[in-house]
Amino acid sequence: MYRAAASRIRSLIENYTATRILLAASGVEHEELLSIAEPLLSDLRSVPREVPKSVYNGGDYRYQGDSGDGRTHFALAFELPGGWHKEKDAMASTVLQMLLGGGGSFSAGGPGKGMSSRLCKS
């Protein structure tokens, strides 16, 4: 029991570092938030992030069938090397996604955002 608790505490200490914490508040003055947060968070150690090596998972899947509604469904996916660690590339991919009318049903802006695109209409 104690070993499990110690392991869990060690894991918390290793994972809750300054680079992994975001403090957000609403309805409070900025200076007041700083006066509360700084004493509590100022001694957190700053640890460089580990960026995992990307693994190629290439391939394709094709299915030709009759959807019954006369529409064509198409999906394109590709790996973004470095992910959001290479923000310029990630931003370009995000802009392309939005230009094509993409947008998850639960993306910023609420359910259905992006569904008004011509790509999503029959």
The neighbour count for residue 95, using CB atoms within 10 Å, is 10
- What tokens appear for 71 in the block? 């529409």
Q: pTM for the full model?
A: 0.34
- Segment 45-98, tens digit of pLDDT: 777 777 777 776 777 777 777 777 777 777 766 666 666 677 777 777 777 777
The secondary structure element, H or E, covering residue 95 is: helix 87-99
pLDDT, residue 106, reads 42
pLDDT level of residue 105 (50, 70, 90 thresholds): very low
Single-letter residue type at 18: A
- Share the mean pLDDT of the chain: 74
Query: Greater confidence, 47 or 41?
Result: 41
**In terms of Cα–Cα distance, which of 91, 49, 58, 98 is closest to 77?**
58
Give me the residue spans of the domains in the chain. Answer: 2-41, 54-122
In the chain, helix, strand, coil percent, each to 5?
A: 40, 0, 60
Separation CA 92–CA 114 (nearest Å) = 17
Spatial contact of 86 and 80, defined as CB atoms under 8 Å apart: yes
Spatial contact of 102 and 75, defined as CB atoms under 8 Å apart: no
Residues, the chain: 122
Whether the per-residue pLDDT at 122 is higher than 70: the answer is: no
